[in-house]
Chains A and B, each alone.
Chain A
Amino acid sequence: SAVISQKPSRDICQRGTSLTIQCQVDSQVTMMFWYRQQPGQSLTLIATANQGSEATYESGFVIDKFPISRPNLTFSTLTVSNLSPEDSSIYLCSVGGIGVGEQFFGPGTRLTVL
């Protein structure tokens, strides 16, 4: 299994600012995923990030709001731009495991927007 770390673990941000979340994996992986977990809700996939290509966004998520970088096989960042209180959520990154569909998750970043 992969060990995944995220920074920051939590943050409180002002409306209109941006937050960049880092995801670091201890091994090289092809696919990385970014999820949002709104308060009391399930996980919703934001985008899939493959190294060397543009991220693929799910319906309802756009690159201008959630730009993603994937500079190498062990690292990715998700930026949440122009923050509003509705962006208050936990953001999680995950990587694909050996098994089909299997994913390993980071501990998450808890974002609160005031």
Chain B
Amino acid sequence: AQSVTQPDIHITVSEGASLELRCNYSYGATPYLFWYVQSPGQGLQLLLKYFSGDTLVQGIKGFEAEFKRSQSSFNLRKPSVHWSDAAEYFCAVGASGFQKLVFGTGTRLLVSP
């Protein structure tokens, strides 16, 4: 069965510092991978996705993620965090014909001044 692990429940980063959120997946074939962000009181917004090709994918709001098959990872990065990036971040893998999504437990990002 597909599964996603986000080992960090909370992360605090100073504004302007770099960010890396970890995501590990378990899937028997080539995965379709996603990062979503959920701001307080909001629905989920797609940040970026990986299907195939270049393993470094660019997303919205200055985010990027790198797919590493050997490590079964799809970590999210941003070189300089802004206070508005404070939110919950979910990694997800496409499953069962890739129409369903299996989500990780999420990482809450706090941004300190």
Q: Which residues of A contact B (CB under 8 A)?
A: 4, 31, 33, 41-45, 48, 92, 94, 96-97, 99-108
Contacts and interface: CB of A to CB of B under 8 A. Distances in A.
A45 B90 contact: no
Contacts of A31: 99
Contacts, number: 55
A107 B36 CA distance: 13
Q: Is the interface of A mostly helix, strand, loop or mixed?
A: strand
Contacts of A92: 43-44
Given A43-B90, A100-B32, A100-B51, A105 B44 contact: yes
9 closest A-B pairs by CB: A101-B94, A105-B43, A105-B44, A101-B98, A107-B43, A101-B32, A42-B103, A42-B105, A43-B103
29 contacts: A4-B43, A31-B99, A41-B105, A42-B90, A42-B106, A43-B101, A43-B103, A44-B103, A45-B100, A45-B101, A45-B102, A48-B99, A48-B100, A92-B43, A100-B32, A100-B94, A100-B99, A101-B34, A101-B98, A101-B101, A102-B49, A103-B46, A105-B36, A105-B43, A106-B43, A107-B41, A107-B42, A107-B43, A108-B43
Nearest to A103: B101
Contacts of A44: 103
A37 B112 CA distance: 27
> Range of interface residues on chain B?
20 to 34
A99 B32 CA distance: 10
A92 B14 CA distance: 31
Interface in B31-55: 32, 34, 36, 41-46, 49, 51
